[in-house]
Structure 1
Amino acid sequence: MKKIIFILTLICISTIGFSQTDSIKGNQFELTGKIINEISLTPHCGNFAFGTVVEFEIIEFSDSNYKGSSIGVIFTCPEFYKSGFFEIGKTYTITIADENQADFSWIIPNEYILNKYKLDKKLWVIEANKK
Structure 2
Amino acid sequence: MKKTLAILLFTFIAAISFAQTDSIRGKQFQLKGKIINQIQLTPHCGVVAWGTVIEFQIISFSDTSYKNDSIGVIFTCPEFYKNNFFEIGATYTLKVADENQANFGWAIPNESLLSKYNLKKKLWVMKADKQQ
TM value normalised by structure 1: 0.93
Q: Which residue of 2 aligns with 1:66?
A: 66
Secondary structure class of the residue paired with 2:60:
strand
Amino acid corresponding to residue 44 of structure 2 in structure 1: H
Distance 2:102 2:113 in 1: 21
Question: Per-residue deviation at 1:2?
Answer: 2.5
Alignment of 1:4-23 (within 5 A): 4-23=4-23
Report whether the alignment pairs 1:56 with 2:56: yes
CA distance in 1 between counterparts of 2:126 and 2:108 reads 16
Superposition map of 1:112-131 within 5 A = 112-131=112-131
What secondary structure does 1:88 align onto?
coil
Offset at 1:15? 1.5
In the alignment, the residues of structure 1 paired with residue 112 and residue 11 of structure 2 have an alpha-carbon distance, to the nearest angstrom, of 50
When the two chains are superposed, the root-mean-square deviation of aligned CA atoms in Å is: 1.3
Distance 1:100 1:26 in 2: 8
Give the CA deviation at 1:40.
0.5
- Larger mean CA deviation between 3-12 and 71-80 belongs to 3-12
Q: Where do 5+ consecutive residues of structure 1 fail to align?
A: none
Once residues 12 and 20 of structure 2 are traced to their aligned partners in structure 1, the CA distance between those partners, rounded to angstroms, is: 14
Supply the distance in 2 between the matched residues of 1:3 and 1:85 (Cα, whole angstroms): 58
Quote the offset at 1:20 in angstroms: 4.7
Question: Equivalents in 2 of 1:48, 1:23: separation in Å?
Answer: 24
Partner amino acid for 1:93? T
What is the alpha-carbon distance in structure 2 between the residues aligned to residue 18 and residue 32 of structure 1?
Answer: 32
Percentage of pairs with the same residue: 66
Which segments of 5 or more consecutive residues in structure 2 lack a partner in the other structure?
Answer: none
Q: What residue number does 1:107 align with?
A: 107
The code of the aligned residue for 1:116 comes to K
Shift of 1:17: 4.6
Partner SS for 1:9: helix
Amino acid corresponding to residue 58 of structure 2 in structure 1: I
What TM-score does the superposition give when structure 2 sets the normalisation length? 0.93
Distance 1:10 1:27 in 2: 31
